[in-house]
């Protein structure tokens, strides 16, 4: 089953610009060579998701980040993972699955990190201490797989219906 999940998720993958349309946002790459803009987008996307819970702002920032700055595989993986978690929060699970299919992200780890961070902040920790302490946990590959499967299985179980047709009509995949 595990061997089938990744290719099926990859088959669902759409270009990043299409994912942006889910929240009616198209990335504007005005300054694709300025590292400060890239850093700002990455931080805005992360902290909108982590502290402000402004999921649409997080999605917007990470969409622009992913469309305009595709040069660091680790950063791309993290951005796609966090953007996927933001998609889940606004009820766009399919978009999350598309993001997670593109890389080896660890959404369960990040989801757990956020929960721990929020608890630590509420109990009086400052941001840096809470951030550092919340990082001290692990998730296994099996746990990550189960988490992704739980969210993405509705999209994997759908099979396009085979409709016999005498015309040249095309039936796209869902």
Does the residue 58 lie in any domain? yes
Does the residue 73 lie in any domain? yes
Asked if 107 and 147 count as a contact pair (C-beta separation under 8 A), the reply is yes
Cα distances from 49 to residues 5, 68, 71, 93, in angstroms, run: 27, 20, 22, 16
Which structural domain, as residue segments, surrounds residue 16? Answer: 2-151
Q: What pLDDT does residue 68 have? A: 81
Asked if 104 and 74 count as a contact pair (C-beta separation under 8 A), the reply is no
Does the residue 162 lie in any domain? no
pTM, 2 dp: 0.72
Asked if 85 and 121 count as a contact pair (C-beta separation under 8 A), the reply is no
Length of the chain: 174
Q: What pLDDT does residue 153 have? A: 87
Asked if 125 and 133 count as a contact pair (C-beta separation under 8 A), the reply is yes
Does the residue 37 lie in any domain? yes
Q: What pLDDT does residue 69 have? A: 79
Q: What pLDDT does residue 132 have? A: 94
Does the residue 163 lie in any domain? no
Q: What pLDDT does residue 93 have? A: 92
Q: What pLDDT does residue 32 have? A: 60
DSSP 10-41: HHH---HHHHHGGGT-----S-TT-HHHHHHH
Does the residue 99 lie in any domain? yes
Coil, helix or strand at residue 168? coil
Helices (H), the chain: 2-12, 16-20, 35-47, 55-68, 73-89, 93-101, 107-122, 127-134, 141-156
User: How many domains is the chain partitioned into structurally?
Assistant: 1
Does the residue 165 lie in any domain? no
Does the residue 49 lie in any domain? yes
Q: What pLDDT does residue 33 have? A: 66
Of 16, 29, 101, the residue nearest 59 (C-alpha): 16
| Average pLDDT, consecutive stretches of 10 residues, N- to C-terminus, the chain (174 residues) | 39 39 57 76 91 92 84 86 94 91 85 94 94 93 92 73 44 38
Q: What pLDDT does residue 158 have? A: 55
Q: What pLDDT does residue 171 have? A: 38
């Amino acid at each position: 089953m595990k061997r089938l999940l990744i290719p099926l998720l990859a088959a669902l993958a759409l270009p990043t610009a299409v994912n942006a349309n889910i929240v009616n946002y198209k990335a504007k790459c005005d300054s694709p060579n300025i590292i400060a803009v890239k850093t700002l987008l990455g931080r805005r996307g992360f902290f909108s998701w982590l502290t402000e819970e402004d999921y649409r702002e997080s999605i917007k920032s990470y969409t622009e980040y992913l469309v305009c700055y595709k040069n660091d595989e680790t950063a791309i993986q993290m951005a796609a993972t966090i953007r996927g978690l933001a998609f889940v929060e606004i009820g766009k699970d399919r978009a999350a699955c598309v993001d997670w299919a593109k890389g080896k992200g660890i959404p369960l780890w990040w989801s757990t990190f956020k929960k721990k961070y929020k608890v630590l902040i509420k109990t009086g920790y400052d941001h840096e201490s809470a951030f550092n302490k919340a990082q001290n946990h692990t998730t296994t590959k099996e746990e990550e797989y189960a988490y992704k499967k739980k969210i993405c299985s509705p999209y994997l179980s759908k099979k396009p219906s085979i409709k016999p047709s005498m015309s040249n009509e095309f039936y796209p995949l869902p």
